[in-house]
Chains A and B, each alone.
Chain A
Amino acid sequence: QQQVKQSPQSLIVQKGGISIINCAYENTAFDYFPWYQQFPGKGPALLIAIRPDVSEKKEGRFTISFNKSAKQFSLHIMDSQPGDSATYFCAASPGSGNTGKLIFGQGTTLQVKP
């Protein structure tokens, strides 16, 4: 019940295309859903986050779609660029809002081909 399931494990997209990564959760107590980008040998960096009372949030080329009834959320990267090639993690925070304590998905390795 504490798991966050992420798919696909890896993704190859052409430059300019749309990258879509999906996550699903079981625990309805999760109240904050961030997405992180991680480059090799570095710590994860926050990309965008959403609360369950919002169905969509957009920041630049990154959009989170959130389906509370299905307990699913996804990251869309528009106009994908080679510099976006990295590992992406979805996460969820139990409790009220962003407690800092995060349960991470398994990660998706994105490769954007020039």
Chain B
Amino acid sequence: GAVVSQHPSWVICKSGTSVKIECRSLDFQATTMFWYRQFPKQSLMLMATSNEGSKATYEQGVEKDKFLINHASLTLSTLTVTSAHPEDSSFYICSAGQGEGYGYTFGSGTRLTVV
């Protein structure tokens, strides 16, 4: 079955620093990946759509300069949280798929804590 891996599974960083989260499709090529954010005991909120070889599409209210997304290959998308602050602490989850009819699989998530 389709496997999506995220790395790291958890990270602690100091306020003002940047942190990169990787999302990899292990056994398929993902033309589209999605990034979601989930605050504790809340729902998942879509942040952006990542398409291989093109600029990401951000949802309303998501700062594109703060959350940099790079989908450089068909198996890897990265989310970089720049100048992180404590309010960016959250659970970041990606999903990846081959398109309609193939389904989309979620990664295991990355817990970011900014101190």
A binding-site residues for B, Cβ under 8 Å:
36, 41-46, 89, 96-107
Q: Which of B11-19, B42-50, B62-70, B73-81 contacts A (4 or more CB under 8 A)?
A: B42-50
| B contact residues, range | 20 to 34
| Contact B49 A43, beta carbon cutoff 8 Å | no
Residues of B within 8 A of A43 (CB): 4, 6, 93, 106-109
Residues of A within 8 A of B89 (CB): none
Distance between Cα atoms of A52 and B95 in the complex (Å): 23
| Contact B43 A98, beta carbon cutoff 8 Å | no
Residues of B within 8 A of A102 (CB): 34, 44, 46, 95
Distance between Cα atoms of A23 and B67 in the complex (Å): 31
| Contact A89 B44, beta carbon cutoff 8 Å | yes
Residues of A within 8 A of B4 (CB): 43
Chain B residues touching A, majority SS: strand
Q: A41-B111, A42-B109, A97-B100 are in contact. List 9 more A-B contacts (CB 8 A).
A: A43-B106, A45-B106, A98-B100, A98-B101, A98-B103, A98-B104, A100-B49, A106-B43, A107-B43
Distance between Cα atoms of A40 and B103 in the complex (Å): 23
Q: A42-B109, A43-B93 are in contact. Are A103 and B104 (CB under 8 A)?
A: no
| Contact B106 A44, beta carbon cutoff 8 Å | yes
Residues of A within 8 A of B106 (CB): 36, 43-46
Distance between Cα atoms of A1 and B31 in the complex (Å): 28
Q: Please give the distance in Å from A78's CB to the nearest CB on chain B.
A: 24
| Contact B104 A42, beta carbon cutoff 8 Å | no
Please tell me which one of the listed residues A100, A103, A107 contacts residue B32 in the complex, with CB atoms under 8 A apart.
A100
Q: Please give the distance in Å from A10's CB to the nearest CB on chain B.
A: 10
Distance between Cα atoms of A105 and B44 in the complex (Å): 8
